[in-house]
A and B are shown apart, each in its own frame.
Chain A
Amino acid sequence: MSVRGKSQTRSRFRRPSAIPGFPLAFGYTLTYLGLIVLIPLGALVLRASSLGMMGLSGVISDERVLSALRISFGLSFAAALLNAIFGLVVAWVLVRYDFPGRKLVHAAVDLPFALPTAVAGIALAALYAPNGWIGQPLAAWGIKAAYTPLGIFIALVFVGLPFAVRTVEPLIVEIDREIEEVSATLGATRAQTLWRVVLPPLTPAILTGFALAFARAVGEYGSVIFIAGNIPYVSEIAPILIVIRLEEFNYAGATGIAVVMLAISFATLLVINLIQSWSRRRFGYV
């Protein structure tokens, strides 16, 4: 097993390197991040701050906001979980097996990236509506998909899939197959090989895929509104509530919900990062 994690001195601002251009590259990074990420987020927090602490707690304690947040984060979590599991399977199949049409499947995985989300939403709604190709047989079973929380879940799984697949794929490519053979010759069962040899090095990547799919799903608007039904307390996601606040010209209320979402997302991503660094320490992989 090769040792990949090089020890780095973290405390130093600038690492001597043979490659020139560090000041320029670093300057770009800071300026770019500032313009694209930090300034807009700062403006968001500034706008919400006109609410004050009282206003913000009013936003959070509103029952409808709470139920929308529950729906958004709950379904995003479930969708990301499903994607993490099946994304791993898809990535594994794409890397390990050769089959006719493999390249097509490979390209298809990226489609949710490329498709405008509104188009995806309309297509999914058409498919899963009671008169659609998939909705019709489902309706015969008594399952309503479109215009229910299940519809939201389907849309979120759709938009999150590429994240889950594409983050684990490069790591599966790197796995040394001999390790699995060694594991087998040493008497491990298939399940043991899977759990103790194959999965541990993949764990950080699976978590990253989960986090990306989750973050994407939480903010998703375009594809969801067409299939959700948007009934308050039932199938209303938090981003729609933000749009509703904007339609009321209630900018502070809208940014209030946005800041709460941002805080929850940030906390979730932080926890995922902690688990990740723990798993790195535990398994010794980068």
Chain B
Amino acid sequence: MPAAIKAIGLGVASLAFMIAGTMLGPRPAVAQTSFLNVSYDPTRELYRAINQKFEEETRPQGKKINIRMSHGGSGSQARAVIDGLDADVVTLALAADIDEIARRTNRIPSDWQKRLPNNSAPYTSTIVFLVRKGNPKGIRDWDDLIKPGIQVITPNPKTSGGARWNYLAAYAYGVERRGGDQQAQAFVAQIFKNAPVLDTGARGSTNTFARRGIGDVLLAWENEAFLALDELGADKFEIVVPSISILAEPPVTLVDGNVDRKGTRAIAQAYLEFLYSPTAQAVIAKHYYRPMKPDAAAPQDVARFPDIKLVTIDQFFGGWDEAQRKHFADGGIFDAILKSNR
């Protein structure tokens, strides 16, 4: 049918014309260096402060730098980078997400975690409990979370990086205090049995607990718990520190493939190294992340961090790769727990 072909041709041609028209419009001149830091959800306030300091430090050298930020769930941020988001540096919640970028694209070398000090983690954090003021349910440690009638609020480990740390901290406690993997699995299953809501992200859980008034205890990043006290009132909640928790290392790295193409390697590398500088370390402690070099931070900031026995993912779970495969993959232990809890 020639009429149809002609019709389609006309349609395509005119659409192409319209698209071309929008693309030929005026464009801003690219004079300043700009780069993109793709990060996870709760770091908004932290990186706003760090970026400001970095811009102040580089200004005397005559450079004008424009740092763009992108925040979101750690896993979906990693997926965006895999699918082509132009990140110069990634600063995510867990190494597994960066491993995934390395595995699925050739933009990051597989030994990325050895390139910067401290497993490429300029700051660390841990998992603590947030309870209602006066601790009415008397929650002191992980054991109290499995008592009947206690409601535990945590995001879903499948959709939230923070929740994976929650899960692993509970699991580590189970192994340490209850004797082994099998007992740990049963222990974690009981905790999730007490969870009435599984939000998709850490901020969602904080809202459910703090604003909706659901639950007796929130499993949270230490920095989120402090932030909740700041923003929602220290008269409403208090932090409870469990006897064992996990050392959460949110790592940072260059996306080599992107910086080499854009010519931003030098500045992006300088930015990552800046995270380890005394200036940045002080900002980090101020925003409730545990600095790698506490000496550089204000003593009163450091004093806020309680002493906890922290296990690490490397010694306890054999690294993220292993933990991911064993616990969180499709059909892994976490799926088995959900099934057994039906």
Q: Flag if A126 contacts B211 (CB, 8 Å).
A: yes
Interface centre among B79, B104, B212 (most CB of A within 10 A): B212
Among A22, A132, A230, A245, max chain B CB count under 10 A is at: A230
Asked if residues B197 and A230 are in contact (CB atoms below 8 Å), the reply is yes
Instruction: Collect the chain B residues with CB atoms within 8 Å of residue A233's CB.
Output: 338, 342
Q: Does B4 contact A (CB under 8 A)?
A: yes
9-residue interface stretch from A86-94, A246-254, A273-281: A246-254
Q: Does A28 contact B (CB under 8 A)?
A: yes
The main secondary structure of chain B at its interface with chain A is helix
Binary B-proximity of A52-63 (CB < 8 A = 1, otherwise 0): 000000000001
CB atoms of A64 and B338 under 8 A apart: yes
Q: Once bound together, how far apart are the Cα atoms of A285 and B82, in whole Å? A: 53
Q: Is B27 an interface residue (CB 8 A)?
A: no
CA distance A22 to B6 in the complex (A): 11
Q: Which of A31, A130, A245, A253 contacts B15 (CB 8 A)?
A: A31
A28→B204 contact, CB < 8 A: no
Known pairs A24-B10, A26-B7, A27-B7; A249 contacts B198 (CB<8 A):
no
Asked if A229 meets B204 with Cβ closer than 8 Å, knowing A27-B7, A244-B158, the reply is no
Q: How many residues of B contact A (CB 8 A)?
A: 42
Q: Which of A24, A31, A63, A250 has the most CB of B within 10 A?
A: A31
Of B3, B197, B207, the contact of A147 (CB 8 Å cutoff): B197
Whether B1 is near chain A, meaning CB under 8 Å from some CB there, is yes
* Residue interface bits B2-45, CB-to-A below 8 A is 1, else 0: 01101111111011000000000000000000000000000000
Question: Would B159 and A13 count as touching, CB distance under 8 A?
Answer: no
The interface on chain A, measured as residues whose beta carbon lies within 8 A of the other chain's beta carbons, has a size of: 41
CB distance from A245 to the nearest CB of B (A): 8
Q: A13-B4, A231-B198 are in contact. Are A23 and B10 (CB under 8 A)?
A: yes
A17-60 Cβ-contact flags toward B at 8 Å (1 or 0)? 00000111011111110010000000000000000000000000
A31, A131, A230, A250: the one contacting B8 at CB < 8 Å is A31
Interface residues of B in 175-215 (CB under 8 A from A): 195-200, 204, 207-208, 211-214
Bound-state Cα–Cα, A129 to B215, Å: 12
Q: Which of B73, B159, B212, B342 contacts A126 (CB 8 A)?
A: B212
CB contacts (< 8 Å) of B1 on chain A: these are 13
Scan residues 138-170 of chain B and give those whose CB is less than 8 A from a CB of chain A: 156, 158-159
Could you tell me the distance between the alpha carbons of A32 and B19 in the complex, rounded to whole angstroms? 13
B11 touches A31 (CB 8 A): yes
**B7 and A24 within 8 A (CB):** yes
CB <8 Å contact, B199 and A230: yes
Q: Does B301 contact A (CB under 8 A)?
A: no
Query: Interface residues of A: mostly helix, strand, loop or mixed?
Result: helix
| Chain A 110-129 interface mask (CB, 8 Å, partner B; 1/0) | 00000000000010011001
Q: Are B100 and A30 in contact (CB under 8 A)?
A: no
Q: Give the chain A neighbours of B250 by CB distance below 8 A.
A: none
Q: Tell me, yes or no, whether A240 is within 8 Å of chain B by CB.
A: yes
Q: Is A214 interfacial (CB-CB < 8 Å)? A: no
In the assembled complex, A71 has its CB within 8 A of some CB on chain B: no
B54 interface hit (Cβ, 8 Å): no
Cα A33 to Cα B159 with chains together (Å) = 33
Contact call A27/B156, Cβ cutoff below 8 A: no
Check A240 against B200 for contact (C-beta < 8 Å). Answer: yes
Chain B residues closer than 8 Å to A29, beta-carbon distance: 11
At the interface, yes or no: A243 with Cβ under 8 Å from chain B? yes
Chain B residues with CB under 8 A of A28: 11, 14-15
Is B261's beta carbon under 8 Å from chain A? no
B76: Cβ under 8 A from any A Cβ? yes
Query: Is the CB–CB distance between A131 and B212 below 8 Å?
Result: yes
* In contact, A130 and B213 (Cβ under 8 angstroms): yes
Contact with B along A170-184 (1 / 0, CB 8 A): 000000000000000
User: Do the beta carbons of B330 and A229 come within 8 Å of each other?
Assistant: no
Contacts of A125 in B (CB 8 A): 208, 212
Q: Is the CB of B11 within 8 A of A24?
A: yes
B328 sits at the interface (CB 8 A) = yes
Q: How far is the CA of A171 from the CA of B218 in the complex (A)?
A: 52
In the complex, what residue of chain B is closest to A122 when comparing beta carbons? Answer: B207
Q: Is A146 an interface residue (CB 8 A)?
A: yes
Q: How far is the CB of A143 from chain B (nearest CB, A)?
A: 15
- A31 proximity list for chain B (CB < 8 A): 8, 11-12, 15
Q: Is B329 an interface residue (CB 8 A)?
A: yes
26 chain-A/chain-B pairs, Cβ below 8 angstroms: A13-B3, A23-B7, A26-B7, A27-B8, A28-B14, A29-B11, A30-B11, A35-B15, A64-B338, A125-B212, A129-B212, A130-B213, A130-B214, A131-B212, A147-B214, A225-B199, A226-B204, A229-B196, A230-B156, A230-B200, A232-B342, A246-B79, A247-B75, A248-B328, A249-B104, A250-B330
The 4 closest A-B pairs by CB, nearest first: A27-B11, A27-B7, A31-B11, A131-B213
Residues of B that sit less than 8 Å from A by CB = 1, 3-4, 6-12, 14-15, 73, 75-76, 79, 82, 100, 104, 156, 158-159, 195-200, 204, 207-208, 211-214, 328-330, 335, 338-339, 342
Q: Apart from A27-B14, A131-B212, what 18 extra A-B contacts exist at CB < 8 Å?
A: A22-B7, A26-B7, A28-B11, A30-B8, A30-B11, A31-B8, A63-B339, A64-B335, A122-B207, A125-B208, A126-B212, A131-B213, A229-B198, A230-B199, A231-B195, A231-B197, A246-B76, A248-B328
